Amino acid sequence: MAASKPWATREKRDRAESETRAGLVHAAQRVFSREGYARTTIAHITAEAGVSRATFYVYFADKGTAFAVVAEHVRDRMVAAQELTGLDPDDVRAVAEATNAAYLDAYAANLAFITVLEHQSLSDPEMAALWEELHDLPRRRTAGYVARLAAQGRANPAASPDAVARAGGGMVAQFAPLVTQDPTRRTEIIADLTAMFLRLLGVDPEE
């Protein structure tokens, strides 16, 4: 029988380690979302993931590190919600509608964890930094988009690009709980968010 190739063995090991880490991250998010930060223990996370405490420490130094990694993953999903393809960039209404829909879905899907992070940010400077980071990149991307539309004369924003971006993100944060409570309202809420955001942009919602 031929000996296993070193690269194949390493690839298999790396894939297994990656899957184990991903499983721990997802388990940690579920536990933090369910129990809150203070009540969550490493034992809760390892039980949820079905791994040993020793395995947890292979990937994370402590509970706080695991929480930070989950926050980074949620941040990445929020940012990815703005990376839409197949849209005509000149169709402002279509871009606004698709972006609001994707961002709303991402926010609603991670709402429980985001709520825990917000609560922790009130008393913990490190958590406050994570909270700001979670919102900062999506906000800056939206502000850049608003600024480009204004420079092209295709929008007349009601305020500065940063203010419009903050308002848009804030509206999604306010409406996301309604979607989690009653998913049948999703279409209605996306329509309302889009109409309000277009008004903030200074674009006629009917165009």
Phi-psi map region of 153: left, alpha, beta (phi>0 left; psi -120 to 50 alpha): left
Task: Report, at the CATH architecture level, how domain 10-60 is classified.
Answer: Orthogonal Bundle (1.10)
Q: Which CA distances in Å does 111 have to 98, 117, 160?
A: 19, 10, 28
Instruction: State which CATH number among 3.40.50.300, 1.10.357.10, 1.10.490.10, 3.40.190.10 fits the domain covering 69-201.
Output: 1.10.357.10
Check residue 17 and give its pLDDT: 64
Residue of 146, 143, 127, 74 whose CA lies nearest to 103:
74
Residue of 25, 48, 20 whose CA lies nearest to 35:
48
pTM: 0.82
Residues with pLDDT less than 70, the chain = 1-17, 204-207
Please calculate the CA angle 131-133-134 and round it to the nearest 5 degrees.
Answer: 65
- Are 110 and 134 a contacting pair, CB within 8 Å? no
* Interval 112-168: pLDDT, tens: 999 999 998 998 888 888 888 888 888 998 999 999 999 999 999 999 999 999 999
Residue ranges covered by each domain of the chain: 10-60, 69-201
